[in-house]
Each structure stands twice: as structure tokens, then as C-alpha cells.
Structure 1
Amino acid sequence: MALGPARPTWSSSMMFVVVSIAAIVSLSNVWRLPYMMETYGGGAFLLVYVGALLTMGLPLFSGQLLMARGTGADVPGVIAAWTRNSPHSRLWIWGGYLAVLGAALLLAAYSVIAAWSLAYSLRAVTGGLDGSTIEAARAQFVDFARDSERGFGWLLLFFCLLTATAARGLRRGVEPVMRTLALCIAAALCALSISAFTDSNAGPALRSLFVVRFSQMDWQGVLEALYQAFFTLSLGSGVIVAFGSYLPNRAPIIRLSLIVIAADLAAALAASFMLTVFIWGHDVTLGAGLQSLFEVLPVALDGSWRAPIMFVLVALVSVSTAIGLFEPVVQLVQHRSGFSRLRSSLYSGVAVALLGLLGLLSFGALGQWRMLGYDAFGWIMLAATHLIGPLCGLLLCVLMGRVLARRRLVEAWRNDPSQGRTTGFAVWHALLRYPTRIALLIVLVYALGGFTLIKMIWAP
């Protein structure tokens, strides 16, 4: 694909790292990982999770950077540049479009959660949260979620922030905003982590969270660890491909990938530790649904100075993740339409906002509508996280591991001066061909409920 003269690049490789970390550190790091560690044996779950990050996350993350760097193209354009002479090339390109659709759907669902986060951050700062009992906190959240009028105001504010950031482009919008968000997130994490370490509950919380308890780790815990490792790195949404396309052709992909993955893991562990400390001793526990974050934290942090910082942190993470998901959508519209960055951002923002409004109304005016037991918000989440995301991740893995000529991959690998001629290539390619692909297939089957069906059939 021919590039226009104004195609941007990152100001530095480190800026790519900062923005990528801010984009992939999501609320699943803050809420889902500690819940899973508590449920599946603490350190036992962590060991499997780290193993999944290295054997599945690292090969696929770095592989997406290998394909994207130096292209300056959108997600389908990156795939097209590699598959022009490959069998069924159009199929693979449409996989790129599917990945961007998944990012748009996930962003639409995430916008609802971001609207809640922004509202709760203001309430926490102004002392408007009712944390007297878990029942009172739950009732307050349900009342707010069902109030579509107030929710629409926060949703509109969120998309104004998102569109304004994207409209200014990579260097003047995404870079400075994400850098600021990353610094604020890091400062909030550090302040809350230090507070947690000095808390009297730090010792019991550490033991509960990190002591290895294999007796609690079953096959479902292994599947959940694979699922969490896949989604924490945004491997099926096109975010890494979109950001990687702005890298120079000789960027050190393995080094950059390791830094991003290590930072994501560190942020997740810090959030897991402090959340466990804050909840410890308050007779409340995190649930499987994200809404538990808005129900449990007001009780656990009632009357504490930690509450405003915690909910501001949740809001910052929501916004930074959304900016990352928005980039492949805006990039696609700009490349395929020829519109300016401003017009592409506006059109993309309106389209995703309408989907987000549909999800928001699922908790209010459209709350009675159901299809096969799911409301509109549930269907958007199912499509994005249970089908499109895992499927696109598997397609990219098969493309790199089985379809693309090994010679072309070796040549691209050699463009990285830090890798030597082919140092590590054989290991990286073997991981893509076997354990990574098998793990992604398992993630897809698990996300679609295949293992639940098997369990129902074979259960005595």
C-alpha cells in the first residue's frame, strides 16, 4: 500500500512501549486477575498465567510487531502486504477487517464501563459513594446503571475525550495523552501499593494471593489462565498491529515485547495485591462480574483517602484502554476512505458511540429486551470477547506459523539488529507453530463454551 507523505511514526521506541503499556493495562488487570488468583490457588494460577504469557503471549505479540513494523498501514493493509501471493489472500485480509470490527465492538462495550468509571471517580472525590453496606453499594450502582439519562451524559463526555485525542493524530494527540495517562496510572498504583504494604493486612493478603495451592488449581483454572493471558495483551483486537505499524523497520521486536509484557504483569500483580489488602477483613469478596468492582470497593474503602485515588485509577485505566482500542478503527477509516484524521475520528466516534449507547440502554430503557437470555450489551461482549478476539488471534498465529514463507519471516527477523542473523528465530517460529497455536485453539473453544458442553455431556 502506498503511504502518504504525512504518515506518522513514534517519536521513539520507548514511546511505543509507554503507549502500549497504557493501552493493554485494562480493568481485567485490576479486577479479573485477583479474582482468578483467589479462586484458583493463588500462586498456582500465577505460575500457569506467566507460562501462558511466555509461550502464547510473547510469540504472538512479537509476531504482530514483526508483520506491522515499518508498514504504516492499517490492520488489513498489514496483512495484505504479507499475503499478496499467498493462497486465499482475500480470506486473510478479511480477517484483518474482522479484528478491527472486534476492536470496535469491544470499545462499544468498554465505553459503558468507562462511563461508570468516570461517574464513580467524581463521586468518590466528592464523597458521594454509599459504602455503609454491600446491599447499599449494590443498590446505588444498580440505580445509576439503570439511569440512562445520566449514563448518556457520561458516555458523551467519554467519547468527546476519545475523539479529541484521536483527531489530533499520533504525535500531537495519542502520544502526549497516553504518556500523561501512563504517568498518572503509575503514580496512583505506586501510592496505593505503598499504602497496601504498610497496611496491617499486607501479610495475610500476600499469603492468600501468592502462596502456591495446587489443590485449588483444576483444568478450568488452566483454561482461565490461558484466556486471561490472551486478553490482557489485546492479541486479537488489532491494537498491537495498529501501534506496531508506526514502528521503524528495524525496531527490536523481542526486546520491546518483553518490556511491555513485563510491565503489564507488574501492574497486574500490584493491582491484585493492593485490591486484596483493601478488601481483606471487610466481609466482602470480588465476584465474577465487573460490576462487583463498583459494589465492593465503596464498602472496602468507605471513609478512606484511598477511595478517590482508587476510582480515579479505574477511570484512567478505562480511558487509556479505550484510546488503544480506538486507534485501529480510526486508522482503518482514514486509510480506506482518504478522509483526514479529524473526519475519520469523528465518523468513527459517532459509529462506536451509537453501539455504546445501545449497550448503555441495555441496563435502562432496553432492559427488558432479551435474545437467548442475553441483552444487547451481553451480545456485544460475547461477539467481541468470545468469538472475534480469539478467532482473529488464532488466524494471525496460523498465518505466521503455517502460511507465510519461512524465508520472508527470516528476512524480516534479520532486519532487527539486536537479534543477530537468525538467533532465536527457530524457537520463536516453533512456538508459533505448536504451543501458541494449540493454546489459542483451546482459548477459542473455551470462549465458545465447548468445554462446558463436553462437561455437560460427560458429567455423571
Structure 2
Amino acid sequence: MHKGGSMKKTEWTSTTSFILASVGGAVGLANVWKFPSTVGANGGGAFILIYFLAVTFIAAPILIGELMIGRSSGKSPVMACLDAARASNLSSRWRYLGYMGISACFIVLTYYSVIAGWTIDYAIQSFRGHLLGLDAPAAQNAYNAVLADPRRMTLFHTIFMTLTALVVSGGLKGGIEKFTNFAMPLFFSLLIGMMIYSAMTGAFSQALHFMFVPDFAKITPMVVLNAIGQAFFSIGIGFCFMMMYGAYMRKETNIPRTSYMIAYADMLVAVIAGLAIFPMVFLYGLNAGEGAGLIFVTLAVVFGTMDGGQIVGGLFFCLMMFAGLTSSIALLEPVVHHFVDRYGWARKKVTLVTGLIAWSIGLLMIFSYNIMSDFKPLFFISYLADKNLLDLMDFIVTNLILPIGAILICILVGWLISRDIIKVELSFQNNLVARLWNFSIRFVAPIFLLVILVYGLT
């Protein structure tokens, strides 16, 4: 029996607070770190064009479905999926969709905290002047030194996980809302400030041309899949934390309109991050498609060379830290609230226990870079043979759990859920928009997600 009480008693103070928290949950290292490197490796403007279409016709329609399920129940993802199934005369096994989502949240949190800890490390290094004068080999050596030092990584992993747990332990209004209402305006200010700085000092016109003048000759099946995958993962579809945030929504909030506001705000942040990074990359003649090293190696060289780079670099890595923190809060909240909602356990105790478990597993992720670097769990499978523990966990979540979870959401919302729930929860502007959403959630999104799933596993 449900002991925790209905979540409908706890709501966002305002729609603005909900949007800030939701954008914060979606915006993370994937936007500030992965997006620019992915754009650089996939042809610039052509990639962004497909990315925009994917956000519009794949990611946002699924987001609408997740928020609808969450608000219709007002409970944690597991209970929300169960309530939707019961109201639609479906099997109670649909609750496992919620379990998949919160499991993905927990797994990602264990290593996300490790990677986000690097941003704190680099912010301190930059402010202290340790990045000054680094050339590319020296920056790579500095990055390798971070990965090789388990004590150093553990320190910043601990700091980051502690900050995450402190916010979540405060609940919706005393923790998540209070933090995001402060952090997101600061995040946007820092990001726009970085973009203005790049426009004034970097090769801004070259960056604009690279990002917004599509070269259609560069559009390949791989570029299309990467763009769809970036749209899908950057908004956080399949994690069910949007379902959790939807549980706190007020009934008068328009879900379709708000969903597109969140999706486009997330995309705008990613684009602004590109406009903050690429002018510096092009100014110094560096490789825009550097991949993961674009931030911690390539930009470390840029910040170490430019005038005022000690401060600019420190602020940039603080920006990344805020982006990571708002996402880690969104990852931990559904896990914590499941036990509060399902069993009526005290939030602070649940947060402490789940945070400690995630932190402990995170130590294994840290060791996978150094003292356990030779441990390849699935060495007997050729295309997974070279993956350490962290890479393997990321592969499982990114290529298996999330696509399957998103496809199941499409099936549940598009084909099976009671039409009464849709009528009550969704208020479309007109019938054409409603029909487009219905077509996207039934056909377009699941087909492309299935392709991504097959591609990712093969």
C-alpha cells in the first residue's frame, strides 16, 4: 500500500520555477561539453539543422508524454507508470518502465559525479594559475595526471556528490527550487558572458559560419543518427526525471507549450555554449572535432594562453560545474522520492543512504581510470572488449536502457494509455498540433529510436 501520500500536495511555486528546474535537469555536461565536440566532429551547421528537427519531432513529443504521466499521478516514476497502467486497464508490469528510468538515473549519477568533479578540479587549477602557459602536450599530460590520481578524483567526486545530496535532502521547495532559482540565472549569466567575451576576442564570424551555414554534403546517415541521439539524450528522455518533475506540476500549466519551451531552451543553451567555445578554438587554429578532450585539453591550452585566461577559464569551469550540478540533482531526486513515495521513509535519511551508495560505486568508476584500468568486464565481446567499468556503464545506459525506455514511453503514451488521461492532461492549441504530436509519438519517434538502439548495439 502506498504510504507516502500523494505528491499532488507538493507543487512547484510557479511555472517559472518548474521551467528553470527542468531546463537545469536537461542542461548538463552534455550541452556544455558534449554538444560542441559533437558539432565539431559532425560538420557544424548541417548537424545543428538535423538536431533542431530531432528536438522538434522526436525529443519534445516524448517529453510531453513523460510530463503527462507524471502529472496525472503526482507520484514517483514507478508509481506514476503503475497508476497510468491501472487507469488504462493495462498490466501492472508497466511499473518496470519507472524502475528502468530510476535505475538509469542512479547508474549515471555514480559516474556523472566523477566526471563533474573534474570541473571543480579544473576551476581551482585555473584560478590558481596552474593552466597558464600550457601547450597541447602539457595540457594532455595535466589531464592524464588527473585521471591517474585516485585520491584527487575521490576528493572532488566527494565534494560534488555532497552538494547534490544536500540540495535533494531539502525537498522540492527547500532544496531543488531554492537552488535552481539561484543557480540557473547565474548559469545563464555566465554562459552569455562567455559568449560575449568570445564574440569580442575570438574568431566569432568563423564560428557563426561553421554553426549556422549548413554544408549539406556533410549530411550522412551517421551525422543524422548522432544528431538525433544528441537531441534525445541532452533533454534527458528515458531517465524519467522529467516524469518526476512533472509530478510536481500545477494542473493549470500547459504541458505541450511548456515542453517545447524546455526543449528549445535546452537547445539554445547548447548553441550558446558552441558560440562561446568555437571562436576560441578557431582563433587558436585548434581542432573543432577534438571530442571529449575539447574541454579539458584543448580549452585548457586556450585559457592558458589568452589574456585574462586565468579568470575566464576558472569561470568557464564553474559554469560547467553548475550545469553538472543541476543535472545530478535531477538524477538523484527520482531515486530518493521513490522510497519516500512508496514506503514513506524520511527524505533526509533516504538521501543520505542513496547518496552514500552512489558515492561508493563512484569509487569503482574512479579506479577504472587508474588502479583498475586493466579490468575490462566484457573483454570477451569484441566491440566492448576495450571498455573500462565507467565506459561500460555509460554504454549500457546510453545504448540500451534509455532507448528501450523511451520506446516503451512511446508505446504506452501513443498506443495504450487511456484517452481520458490525454484529454485531461494535454491542452493543445489546435487539432493540427494534436495530430502532429500523435503521429510523432506513435510513428516518428519510436522508429528513429529503434534505429538508434540497433545502431548502438551493433
Whether TM exceeds 0.5 here: the answer is: yes
Tell me the equivalent position of 1:440. 449
Aligned counterpart for 1:404 among listed residues 392, 396, 417 = 417
Tell me the equivalent position of 1:336. 342
- Which digits, 9 at most, give the CA deviation of each residue in 1:5-47, with x for residues without a partner? 7842111111000111111111221232223333333221111
Contact 2:41 2:289 in 1 (8 A): no
Tell me the equivalent position of 1:210. 212
- Equivalent pairs, count: 445
Contact 1:401 1:429 in 2 (8 A): yes
Tell me the equivalent position of 2:433. 424
Task: Choose 46-55 or 178-187, whichever is displaced more.
Answer: 178-187
CA distance in 1, matches of 2:110, 2:202: 40
Tell me the equivalent position of 1:366. 372
CA distance in 1, matches of 2:147, 2:387: 17
Deviation of 1:152 (Å): 1.0
Deviation of 1:252 (Å): 0.5
Tell me the equivalent position of 1:27. 29
Task: Choose 212-221 or 284-293, whichever is displaced more.
Answer: 284-293
Tell me the equivalent position of 1:17. 19
1:93 aligns with 2:102: no
Aligned counterpart for 2:201 among listed residues 196, 199, 202 = 199
1:307 aligns with 2:313: yes
Task: Choose 343-352 or 275-284, whichever is displaced more.
Answer: 275-284
1:101-120 to structure 2, matched below 5 A, reads 101-120=103-122
- Pair 292,212 (structure 1): closer, same or farther in 2 beyond 3 Å: closer
Tell me the equivalent position of 2:53. 51
- Pair 408,200 (structure 1): closer, same or farther in 2 beyond 3 Å: closer
Aligned counterpart for 2:39 among listed residues 37, 40, 45 = 37
Tell me the equivalent position of 1:144. 146
Contact 2:116 2:324 in 1 (8 A): yes
- Pair 288,398 (structure 1): closer, same or farther in 2 beyond 3 Å: farther
- TM-score, scaled to structure 2: 0.92
Deviation of 1:412 (Å): 3.1
Contact 2:36 2:274 in 1 (8 A): yes
1:381 aligns with 2:383: no
Tell me the equivalent position of 1:455. none
Deviation of 1:284 (Å): 2.7
CA distance in 2, matches of 1:225, 1:103: 22
Tell me the equivalent position of 2:168. 166
Task: Choose 332-341 or 112-121, whichever is displaced more.
Answer: 332-341
Give the partner amino acid of 1:440.
Answer: L
Aligned counterpart for 1:321 among listed residues 327, 331, 334 = 327
Give the partner amino acid of 2:297.
Answer: E
- Which digits, 9 at most, give the CA deviation of each residue in 1:371-400, with x for residues without a partner? 322211111111211111111111111111
Contact 1:130 1:136 in 2 (8 A): no
- TM-score, scaled to structure 1: 0.92
Deviation of 1:281 (Å): 3.3
Partner-residue secondary structure (3-state), 1:69: helix
Contact 1:286 1:296 in 2 (8 A): no
- Pair 38,292 (structure 1): closer, same or farther in 2 beyond 3 Å: closer
- Which digits, 9 at most, give the CA deviation of each residue in 1:337-379, with x for residues without a partner? 3211101111110111122111111112211211322211111
Deviation of 1:142 (Å): 0.8
1:41-80 to structure 2, matched below 5 A, reads 41-80=43-82
RMSD of aligned alpha carbons: 1.9
- Pair 42,421 (structure 1): closer, same or farther in 2 beyond 3 Å: closer
Tell me the equivalent position of 2:383. none
Contact 2:76 2:334 in 1 (8 A): yes
Contact 1:43 1:209 in 2 (8 A): yes
Deviation of 1:209 (Å): 2.3
CA distance in 2, matches of 1:438, 1:12: 36
- Which digits, 9 at most, give the CA deviation of each residue in 1:292-313, with x for residues without a partner? 4211111012142421111111
CA distance in 2, matches of 1:129, 1:223: 36
CA distance in 1, matches of 2:429, 2:287: 50
Task: Choose 229-238 or 295-304, whichever is displaced more.
Answer: 295-304
CA distance in 2, matches of 1:367, 1:146: 10
Tell me the equivalent position of 1:348. 354
CA distance in 2, matches of 1:282, 1:100: 42
CA distance in 1, matches of 2:402, 2:41: 25
Partner-residue secondary structure (3-state), 1:302: helix
Contact 2:40 2:289 in 1 (8 A): no
CA distance in 2, matches of 1:181, 1:412: 30
Give the partner amino acid of 2:5.
Answer: G
- Pair 144,425 (structure 1): closer, same or farther in 2 beyond 3 Å: same
Deviation of 1:291 (Å): 4.1
CA distance in 2, matches of 1:359, 1:287: 26
- Pair 298,200 (structure 1): closer, same or farther in 2 beyond 3 Å: closer
Give the partner amino acid of 2:457.
Answer: L
CA distance in 2, matches of 1:262, 1:276: 21
Q: Give ranges in structure 2 of 5+ residues lacking alignment.
A: 380-385
- Pair 324,10 (structure 1): closer, same or farther in 2 beyond 3 Å: same
Contact 1:45 1:225 in 2 (8 A): yes
Tell me the equivalent position of 1:237. 239
Task: Choose 420-429 or 18-27, whichever is displaced more.
Answer: 420-429
Contact 2:3 2:343 in 1 (8 A): no
Tell me the equivalent position of 1:226. 228
Percentage of matched positions with identical amino acids: 26
